[in-house]
Structure 1
């Protein structure tokens, strides 16, 4: 049990003891509620009695019980409060409460389940892209570190409905589950799909045998870090220059060029035009490297006579300024 839960438990017990004391003194001594409250608090705090004292043997015995119980509970509560203040829990708790209120206002955000080694890479990329996201993890130290970086966090088990609800699962556009245990990733995927049928789910798989299970559970994409890492190592030894270029292009935050996905709006002037007549290159300067149709068909390195259709996803390469020009062209 963490320090905050211990504190709430101590306060609840003290409140219950005060209530019992008031009711009992009214019954045994015939005091008014205010007199009974005064005598109860005086007993619990061991400050001594004034003009109000118990007169019956039963009342005196009960007062002794209150004194013994009060000293123990107050010591426990005080020690817990000191622990919270010293360890910085109080600030974190208050910050988490405010943060969870902000999380409930998010729309179309991404939920990351797991802040381990894989999760850290996902968080870093989403931060670079300035995408709204929430991180779920059980490790309080990791979450405290992320919270200091102004990242939205939820402490809890991502396999539980309540935890996903706190992260705004019903309003999220995507979920990435990168937990080290495949069975937990399956459970998170299944739960998330049930709570939000339209959410896009990307799941981590450590074993090849887990991939079909994750797909059956509802994952749109299953990624195996081990397989991807092995393939990249093989290509790096065979074609090092090409791999270095692609990695620099995708991961170097200081590089001017970026890869982006841009959706063609139904009202866009690009709809129905051949790529050579679209003036994408002339007006924005970007290079179209692939087109993904709504039918999931992907056209790699499209020809100049490829016709742009409504809803196409253009995968392009260019500077941020060029990409902004194309985004406006695709939307207008």
Structure 2
């Protein structure tokens, strides 16, 4: 179970209305943490009772002349550690009083710290998390915002992490609590809210982000998110996924830099798999960053300037110049220039060069 730190819109200094930020924390659940403190308190109580019982000759019970029994020892430990102190069972010998000073008193302090500390922690949790979120909002820069953490969103996050993005630089926005829990389990900062609202995107730090991934389940929602994001951050890179190819032009008109047709792409792979399954395996390998081969992008080196992309050692698939992608046999990129970027096949994994 994962502890999630929540600060809602009614907390001073918290996020904008309509959004809730969840900061990832430790993986110890609240029930486990509570049981640990309960066992610690019971342990202190039992230790104090056993000390009194083994030192029972040094105690007297003003209401009973039969001596101190085990129940009497637990009774004394209970009223002593809770600072109630009725005074009916008291230490009378120097040895018993010395044990009270050196052992019972520290156990009393430990007992009170466990009980009072739990209450104080609950009371201060909201303020502490509000401070953490304000600090995160002031520091988060150059991150990637992923809207929608369904199948497409999860795959996008996996790819980003495989390409070297730290979890601190990925923020997930969704309305589903279960999906946010799954993202929090990976250590991601999550924002619960409707991404079509500018306040929610602002809470996710979109004005300071470098890229936005729109992976919603509905095409109309993707269009609205893209419109809102482009108006808020004109220079941000927006990549969106749509289910139907007929909606691609709507995403591009809304401001998306790249549009991926999920249903059509999956259909093409299914069709290819029936006749050429090996081709599908290669394509899956290229788009999986964990191992095997992958498609990467790099800057043209000084030694490659003036040469043809078809004659390089790397397998070049395209050349990016002035924001446009050109095929390697296009006459515009027959001679590479400084500032060009190459789309090439490279080995994925930790040894990737």
Question: TM-score, normalization: structure 1?
Answer: 0.60
State the partner residue of 1:259.
295
Are 2:316 and 2:328, in contact at CA under 8 Å, matched by a contact in 1?
Answer: no
Is 1:202 aligned to residue 242 of structure 2?
Answer: no
Instruction: Pick one of 339, 342, 351 that aligns with 1:311.
Output: 339
Deviation of 1:94 (Å): 5.8
Instruction: Pick one of 122, 126, 134 that aligns with 2:156.
Output: 122
Greater Rg by CA? 2
- Indicate the larger mover: 207-216 or 236-245: 207-216
Q: Deviations over 1:232-286 (max 9, x none)?
A: 111111211121122123326233x33211133xxx52463214899x63xxxx4
User: Residues 272, 188 of structure 1: CA spacing in aligned structure 2 closer, same or farther, 3 A cutoff?
Assistant: same
Higher percent of residues as helix: 1
Are 1:104 and 1:167, in contact at CA under 8 Å, matched by a contact in 2?
Answer: no
Instruction: Pick one of 173, 192, 196 that aligns with 2:210.
Output: 173
State the partner residue of 1:273.
306
Are 1:260 and 1:323, in contact at CA under 8 Å, matched by a contact in 2?
Answer: no
User: Residues 170, 150 of structure 1: CA spacing in aligned structure 2 closer, same or farther, 3 A cutoff?
Assistant: same
State the partner residue of 2:251.
214
Q: 5 Å matches for 1:188-199?
A: 188-199=225-236
Are 1:112 and 1:135, in contact at CA under 8 Å, matched by a contact in 2?
Answer: yes
User: Residues 101, 184 of structure 1: CA spacing in aligned structure 2 closer, same or farther, 3 A cutoff?
Assistant: farther
- CA-atom RMSD, angstroms? 3.5
Aligned residues: 235
State the partner residue of 1:21.
none
User: Residues 222, 97 of structure 1: CA spacing in aligned structure 2 closer, same or farther, 3 A cutoff?
Assistant: farther
Q: Distance in 1 between matches of 2:309 and 2:257?
A: 33
Q: Which has the higher contact order (CA 8 A, sep 6+)?
A: 2
Deviation of 1:297 (Å): 4.2
Instruction: Pick one of 254, 259, 265 that aligns with 1:228.
Output: 265
State the partner residue of 1:106.
140
Q: Distance in 2 between matches of 1:150 and 1:323?
A: 25
Unaligned runs of 5+ in 1: 9-80, 325-332
Question: TM-score, normalization: structure 2?
Answer: 0.57
